[in-house]
Amino acid sequence: MPKFIISGGAKIGGEIKVGGAKNAALKIFPAAILFKEKIRITNVPDIEDVHRCEELLKDIGALVNNLGNGVYEVDASNINKTDLNPEIVKKFRSSIMFVGPLLARAGQARFPHPGGCVIGAGGRPIDLFLDGFSKMGVELKTEDKFYHLFAKNIFGTQYFFSKVTVTGTESIMMTAVLAKGTTVLKNCALEPEITALADFLNSCGAKISGAGTPTITIEGVDGLRGGEYRVIPDRIETGTFAIMAAVLNNKLKITDCNPEHVGALWPLFDKIGVNYELGHDYVVVHSTKGPLKACSMQTHEYPGFATDLQSPYVVLATQCQGLSLIHETIYDRRLLFTDMLTQMGANIIMCDPHRVVVSGPTKLYAKKLVSPDLRAGITMVIAGMIAEGTTEIDNIYQIERGYEKIVERLIRIGVNIKKTEE
């Protein structure tokens, strides 16, 4: 299996460009199923999960044309299959996003439990998706580990999400676009990717109001006309690269981003003592003279501190003076990666499955590691940049799933990293 090899003592500088948001791109490809006309998608990141979306769409009969430079055209006018390929579905969690549009378009969908990161208890539950679909008139059968959903008609409904769920909100919102009647969704997620998706669908004839607020209303329409969607900048890459620069204490400019989408990070940088400046579409992190000061953090649904930035933040906490309490409120198991940082020399105590206390600053030492998931994987890369020695990371599919050309981009800013061959 290919590995990442990172030498410590990195001195980075220059500029790094943020790619299109993985968690926006992975919704627009399934959304294409709602259309009987071609749509054009630009600023698409070149990542494994997008390639899986392409494969899933082609497998059900859609035409997908990768024009290069992050530009795709998708024509789903001739969907000829409603069974989602189980081998592909198991590779990423957001394969679940294909179910709602398939139900809206073809009245049925058959699929296994979606795969992807190991975070979250019970293999990333989809109970809220299934509950929402059932309220819209969808019947559910399970047979030998497959879900089989079917509905003669999809009806508008009132649905209150018992938990704030990003993909759950997006999924039911998309399904409601072609439903008969009006749907009112309450306790919705507020992520900017949801607003971007709703804005695009509205530009193609959908009638969605309230995206970005806890209540979203969707009036069903008969069909959508084609359009063009530009994937918004990846706010998790933006925050990850900013935290990386703070960890290395080197000046770095992060371009093609939207600092407002990472609003919860900057007040923490202020408390820690990180020097930075925010532009309209860039962030500059400067090196900091004084010691970094410990600052506790709690993850929260958007616009709170993103759970996807929790693991890079823990590495930063290992370099801050004092005790930082990190409270992961969204996912079970998402702090298990800290065991790897402890092996590298970090001083971390796990108080309970959702809380760790990090005592810093501590020197880190290189280790041979295995990336458990996407975000912990990039965190190991950042830890390897400051660790003494040469760090080896296995299972890098879990990193390349979400970070486009990450080795090339890191080498360009001075990181000593390479990918071994297969």
- Point out which residues bind ligand EPZ (CB under 6 A): 22-23, 26, 93-94, 117, 120, 124-129, 163, 165-168, 189, 307-308, 330-331, 374-375, 402
CA 333 to chain centre: 17
Minimum CB–partner distance for residue 134 and ligand EPZ (Å): 12
Minimum CB–partner distance for residue 225 and ligand EPZ (Å): 26
Identify which of 248, 231, 242 has the alpha carbon closest to the alpha carbon of residue 9: 248
Beta strand 38-42 with 228-230 is: parallel
Tell me how far apart the alpha carbons of residues 56 and 244 are, in angstroms, rounded to a whole number. 34
Q: 236 vs 292, which CB is nearer to ligand EPZ?
A: 236
Q: What is the CA radius of gyration of the chain?
A: 21
How crowded is residue 376: how many other Cβ atoms within 10 Å of its Cβ?
A: 27
Residues with a known catalytic role: 117
Counting Cα atoms < 13 Å in the Cβ hemisphere of 340 gives 30
Minimum CB–partner distance for residue 273 and ligand EPZ (Å): 27
Does the CA dihedral 179-101-97-225 come out positive or negative?
Answer: negative
Provide the strand spans (E) within 100-145. Answer: 108-112, 139-143
Q: 8 vs 20, which CB is nearer to ligand EPZ?
A: 20
Q: 387 vs 396, which CB is nearer to ligand EPZ?
A: 396
Consecutive H or E run containing 370: strand 368-370
Minimum CB–partner distance for residue 51 and ligand EPZ (Å): 15
Tell me how far apart the alpha carbons of residues 5 and 219 are, in angstroms, rounded to a whole number. 52
18 torsion bin: left (phi>0), alpha (psi -120 to 50), beta (else): beta
DSSP state of 34: G
239 torsion bin: left (phi>0), alpha (psi -120 to 50), beta (else): alpha
Residue 303: is the preceding peptide bond cis (ω within 30°)? Answer: yes
Minimum CB–partner distance for residue 309 and ligand EPZ (Å): 10
Q: 76 vs 330, which CB is nearer to ligand EPZ?
A: 330
Minimum CB–partner distance for residue 180 and ligand EPZ (Å): 24
Tell me how far apart the alpha carbons of residues 47 and 57 are, in angstroms, rounded to a whole number. 16
Q: 110 vs 235, which CB is nearer to ligand EPZ?
A: 235
Q: Which residue has the tokens 């929260």?
A: 300
Q: 40 vs 124, which CB is nearer to ligand EPZ?
A: 124
